[in-house]
């Protein structure tokens, strides 16, 4: 574990949690800087942290500020990141050494947050949805670092499945190749971020968090290098909103093809266009699902911390 000092700074709340062996839940910061406009991003970040606390765990939002890894952000640091928005570096695993070496501000993506969480000893990480294989990736090879990191970093990631703008079957194939255990919580079909179901049967599904806790305990006990991906369906199943979001996704994808955007431009463009085309309804659903994920992730972290058969 990193210690506070030159490389890493812990919030007071996280320091107390570590000293008292309380369950911790890591949270990414890209959703704050790049996922939503101000002040909705700040309000959502505070809500997510509050939900984690209400469900028996301690939140540890991770970011890089002036070249130091921050594990847990104080209120003023959350406000700083929220107001700077997209002007801060969007930091995936590949960007960590540059952002740290240049002493920049960086918001961590799923992959970078996983790396840091594992390094500081936080086994659970909550996000909205993971990245994956983009549509057409058989030609472009546009596959998110999130999938690679899940294959080499033993963190339990709680999400609402794979973003619906992606190629979900290909994403699940890559995760299988990487040796990542993927489990759906509460239903038999894999969820698709905005949608409770992708129509794809889950290889593994369970109805009890205790089963997931036991699975992750085995993962750690056997020192597997891969993570555990827990897919939690969005609680709201509103057909009208689902239909409008589906239509918006199709329209946004057609615009993307006309504009010929590639690489890291793709996901931000699509998510923003979908939000615009749905009058903000997709953003509201995004907030709902991450709050739900935060509750599940905190309950799971608390349950895991109470086990006697864990190696962490």
**Residues involved in catalysis:** 28, 163
Distance between CA atoms of 227 and 179, rounded to whole angstroms?
9
CA-to-CA dists, residue 93 to 16, 17, 66, 143, 153, angstroms: 28, 26, 17, 14, 12
Bridge partners (DSSP) of residue 170 are none
Nearest-CA neighbor of 162 among 233, 242, 257?
233
Element (H, E) at 62: strand 58-65
Distance between CA atoms of 201 and 140, rounded to whole angstroms?
27
Distance between CA atoms of 107 and 4, rounded to whole angstroms?
19
Contact (Cβ atoms closer than 8 angstroms) between residue 261 and residue 215: no
**308: phi then psi, degrees, rounded to nearest 5:** -105, 0
Nearest-CA neighbor of 228 among 184, 197, 289?
184
């Amino acid at each position: 574990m990193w210690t506070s000092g030159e490389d890493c700074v812990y919030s007071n709340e996280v320091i107390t949690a570590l000293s008292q062996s309380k369950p911790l839940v890591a949270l990414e910061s890209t959703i704050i800087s790049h996922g939503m406009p101000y002040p909705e991003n700040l309000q959502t970040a505070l809500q997510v942290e509050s939900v984690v606390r209400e469900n028996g765990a301690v939140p540890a939002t991770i970011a890089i500020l002036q070249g130091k890894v921050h594990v847990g952000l104080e209120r003023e640091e959350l406000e700083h990141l929220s107001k700077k928005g997209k002007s801060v570096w969007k930091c995936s695993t590949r960007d960590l050494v540059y952002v740290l070496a240049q002493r920049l501000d960086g918001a961590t993506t799923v992959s970078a947050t996983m790396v840091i969480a594992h390094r500081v000893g936080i086994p659970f990480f909550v996000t909205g949805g993971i990245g994956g294989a983009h549509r057409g990736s058989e030609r472009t090879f546009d596959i998110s670092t999130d999938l690679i990191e899940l294959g080499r970093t033993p963190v339990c990631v709680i999400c609402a499945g794979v973003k619906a703008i992606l190629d979900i079957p290909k994403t699940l194939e890559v995760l299988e190749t990487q040796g990542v255990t993927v489990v759906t919580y509460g239903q038999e079909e894999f969820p698709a971020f905005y949608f409770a179901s992708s129509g794809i049967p889950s290889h593994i599904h369970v109805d009890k968090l205790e089963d997931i806790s036991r699975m992750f305990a085995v993962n750690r006990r056997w020192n597997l290098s891969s993570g555990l991906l827990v897919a939690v369906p969005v609680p709201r199943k509103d057909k009208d909103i689902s239909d409008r979001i589906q239509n918006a996704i199709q329209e946004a994808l057609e615009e993307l093809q006309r504009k010929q955007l590639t690489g890291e431009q793709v996901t931000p463009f699509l998510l923003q266009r979908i939000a615009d085309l749905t009058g903000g309804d997709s953003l509201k659903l995004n907030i709902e699902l991450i709050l739900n994920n935060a509750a599940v992730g905190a309950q799971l972290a608390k349950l895991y911390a109470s086990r006697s058969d864990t190696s962490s």
